Structure 1
Amino acid sequence: MYGITLILVLAVVGGVIAFIGDRLGTRIGKKKLSIFGLRPRHTAVVVTIFTGICITTVTFGIMAAVSENVRTALFGMDKLNALIAETRAALDFTAGELTRAQSAQEEASGELTKSEEEIARLRAEQEELHAESDRLSAGNRALMMEKEGLISINGRLTGENETLQEDIRALGVRAQELRAGILNLREGNITYQAGEIIASGVIPARLSHDEIERGLAGIAQLGTRNISARLGENHTDQDLWIYRPEYDAAVRAIEESSTDMIVRIVAAGNLVRGDEIRASIELYPNRTIYHDGELIIARVYPPEGLRGAAEQAVMAFLRDVNAAASDRGILPDPLRGTVGVIEGAEFYGLVQALAERREATVISAYAAGDTDAMGPLRLTFKIESEGTP
């Protein structure tokens, strides 16, 4: 809108100046005026030229008055060109700086990317280090627990070592005792072996307390006599030693029993000549196991099995008799495991009789008299041919 107004103003001003010039030129022409001694026609031309100059001058003057750009174009072009050159140079410098800045930015972006990658790597390493630290912490805790366990085990082993040392010392003492015992055994100084019966007897049921004690005292006196007999006449002063609580317990057990009780006084250990006689009490209920003439066992032997083996057959038969009687309830000897006795002459007579048989033979063993659990079992034998009524 401002440009249109300026154009209209210039057009109006130019038209007014042209009109004035035309009027001035016409009057000069009519009046035949002369300027600077020129001819009137030439003067009209000069006026026309002056009018054009005025129009141009006024136009530029108005434009210069109303527009700074026109003033700059008219009076500051060199300055403007220099400014443009400076601006262009600054722009080129700025463009170069911008290019360098962009390059630097790209380098910085690359470095930033590398830094981010390095940060990511460092974070991953940090996480690994944290995990390793956690594993080390767990391992350290486990090592501490293991250390505490080892300390505890060491303490226990120290205690066990002390116990073992004491056991070793005790075993050393025991070994010396055993060596002494073996030496005594070799030299014949063992009076009774551990578990060997010193004396035995039967105490009937339903006796009074005093009667039971008198019965036990009688069996103990029998044991003393047996010891003295085994040691010889110079050791008649040796007495049995029985642990008092064990003795009292035996009295109560006999007192409470409704059946007769077998009392065995046995050696508590190997009794060496000259040592204190220590013994213990064993109790067994008594009853009749075999009646007189009762069959114990019978065995059949074929004739071919007796040729040259009669003695082995008799020994095997006696072992069967011993096993059958033990199973029936007769108490075996603690050391030998036997329940009865047989004379040597009777044994060889049985072997001889069996060796003379030429047909299948039955050997039978019978109880010779009533036999209770205490024994011993005495036997009678019968040899007959198989099938004999």
Structure 2
Amino acid sequence: MYIIQLILILIVAGGLIAYVGDKIGMKVGRKRLSLFGLRPKYTSIIITVVTGILIALSSLGVLIAGSENIRQALFDMQALLTKLDNLNQTVEAKNQRLTTLSAKIKVVKGRKLELKRQVKNLSLQQQALTKQVNNLAHNLSLFGKKYFYSLTGDIIYPKGTVVTSDSIRGNLSQEELNYKLQQLILQAKKLATKKGLTKVTTYSQQELVKAINILNKRDNKMIVRLLAAKNTFKNEKLKLNFDLYSDYKVYQTGDIILTHEVTFTKLADLEIQLKQLKAKLNQKVIQAGMLPNKQGKVVDLTLKQLYQLVDQLRQTNKSRLVKVVAKEDIWRDDSLAQNIKFKVES
């Protein structure tokens, strides 16, 4: 609204000055007046020029009087230019700072994403470590229980103990071999139950199939032993492993397995000599092909056999030969104690 008023004032003022100048020019022309001794023609031109100058000056005066910005533009232009230059420099500096801050913000955002990934990875690692700690605690608890059981004698089957065994003829059909092995497994389960194991006895189906394939390809007899796969405590499952050996006759009826000289002086010395006899007999039969137990032994004499032998040796202080004789044919997996007898000779 203010601009419109200013324009209207300029139009009115310009028109008024032009009108006055025109009237003066017409009057000078009619009367042929002379200004400064000039010809009327030039006097009219001067009046026209002065009129135009007055119009310009009045317009400028009105603008100066009516607008502070125009006054500053006319009389303080250099200061405005300097101020504008300073403002441009300030804007450029702000823009540079904004660019720097934007770059820093980008770096911070990238770092934030990286930290989030690290936090996620650390969280996953924490979960994995927590799981490992829980597993270790569980295993340690089980180990503690088993160690306690081992101290208190609660191991029913030590690892490698022969639970049961049988001699099976090879070259049978897979169905027949599977039946025989299942019967052997059933026997192992019954023996485990008698010893106080109430949980199900397990075995590897893959090992069973492997044993069947081995037996199917053999023409001779094979000894199949079912062993305890690990130390088995009360309230645990008995896991079985299959152990196969070729079976053959080691001794025939009447064979002299061992001859050993024994001298009776006193019972303490006799006990030592009998231990030596057992050790020598054990070594001899293993070399001949008998299958040892987990402790590496075959010989496990009964008390009756030992008492009878001691009674015969106590009858004289002389050195006597003790012969270990096979009562009947002895195969690799037979019980040696039940199949031998002792002969004492002078």
TM-score normalised per structure 1: 0.51
One-letter amino acid matched to 2:279: R
Q: Structure 1 residue 349: deviation in Å?
A: 2.4
The residue type equivalent to 2:276 in the other structure is A
Q: CA RMSD in A?
A: 2.8
The corresponding residue for 1:184 is: 149
User: For 1:163-217, what per-residue CA distance to the aligned partner results, in whole angstroms no more than 9, with x for missing partners?
Assistant: xx99998776544332210222344443211111122111112211100000100
Contact 1:342 1:379 in 2 (8 A): no
Pick aligned residue for 2:248 from 287, 292, 299: 287
2:291 matches 1:331: yes
**Which runs of structure 1 show a deviation greater than 3 angstroms over 4 or more consecutive aligned residues?**
165-176, 186-189, 301-304
Residue 142 (structure 1) aligns with: none
Q: CA deviation at 1:353?
A: 2.1
SS of 2:325 mapped into structure 1: strand
Distance 1:282 1:333 in 2: 12
For residues 339 and 375 of structure 1, the distance between their equivalents in structure 2, rounded to whole angstroms, comes to 9
How much has 1:355 moved relative to structure 2? 3.1
Query: In the alignment, is residue 371 of structure 1 matched against residue 336 of structure 2?
Result: no
Q: Who is 1:204 aligned against?
A: 169
Change in CA separation of 1:168 and 1:205 when aligned onto 2, cut-off 3 Å? same
Query: Judging changes above 3 Å, is the alpha-carbon distance between structure 1 residues 270 and 308 closer, same or farther for their aligned structure 2 residues?
Result: closer
| CA–CA distance in structure 1, aligned partners of residues 212 and 223 of structure 2 | 12
Partner of 2:238: 277
CA–CA distance in structure 2, aligned partners of residues 303 and 272 of structure 1: 43
The residue type paired with residue 143 of structure 2 is L
Asked whether the 8 Å contact 1:259–1:285 carries over to 2, the reply is: yes
Cα distance in 2 between the residues matched to 1:365 and 1:166: 60
Larger Rg: 1
The AA in structure 2 aligned to 1:296 is I
Match of 2:215 among 239, 251, 254: 254
User: What SS class does the counterpart of residue 300 from structure 1 fall into?
Assistant: strand
Other-structure match for 1:70: none
Letter in 2 for 1:369: E
- Of 158, 163, 176 in structure 2, the residue corresponding to residue 193 of structure 1 is 158
State the Cα deviation string for residues 306-325 of structure 1 (Å, max 9, x = none). 78511211121011111111
**Residue of structure 1 in register with 2:318 after alignment:** 359
Residue 343 of structure 1, CA deviation: 2.0
Contact 1:368 1:379 in 2 (8 A): yes
Partner of 2:202: 241
Alignment of 1:208-227 (within 5 A): 208-227=173-192
Change (3 A) 1:231 1:308: closer
Are the counterparts in 2 of residues 205 and 258 from structure 1 also a CA contact under 8 Å? yes
**Corresponding residue to 1:322 among 282, 294, 309:** 282
Identical positions, percent:
20
Q: What letter matches 2:236 in structure 1?
A: D
Do the aligned partners of residues 181 and 224 (structure 1) sit closer, same or farther apart at CA in structure 2, a change above 3 Å counting? same
Counterpart amino acid of 1:219?
L
On the 8 A contact 2:229/2:240 being kept in 1, the answer is yes
Q: Tell me the residue number matched to 2:261.
A: 300
What SS does structure 2 have at the residue aligned with 1:231? Answer: coil
171-180 or 221-230, which moves further after superposition?
171-180
The aligned counterpart of 1:347 is 306
How far apart, in 1, do the equivalents of 2:161 and 2:167 lie? 18
User: Displacement of 1:379 after TM fit?
Assistant: 1.7
Q: Secondary structure at the match of 2:322?
A: strand
Q: Distance in 2 between matches of 1:316 and 1:242?
A: 39
Unaligned 5+ residue runs, structure 1? 1-164
CA distance in 2, matches of 1:212, 1:229: 26
Q: Matches of 2:132 and 2:310 in 1, distance apart?
A: 54
How many pairs align? 217
Q: Distance in 2 between matches of 1:375 and 1:290?
A: 11
Amino acid of the residue matched to residue 328 of structure 1? Answer: A
- Structure 2 unaligned regions, length at least 5: 1-129
Partners of 1:308 and 1:355 lie apart in 2 by 12
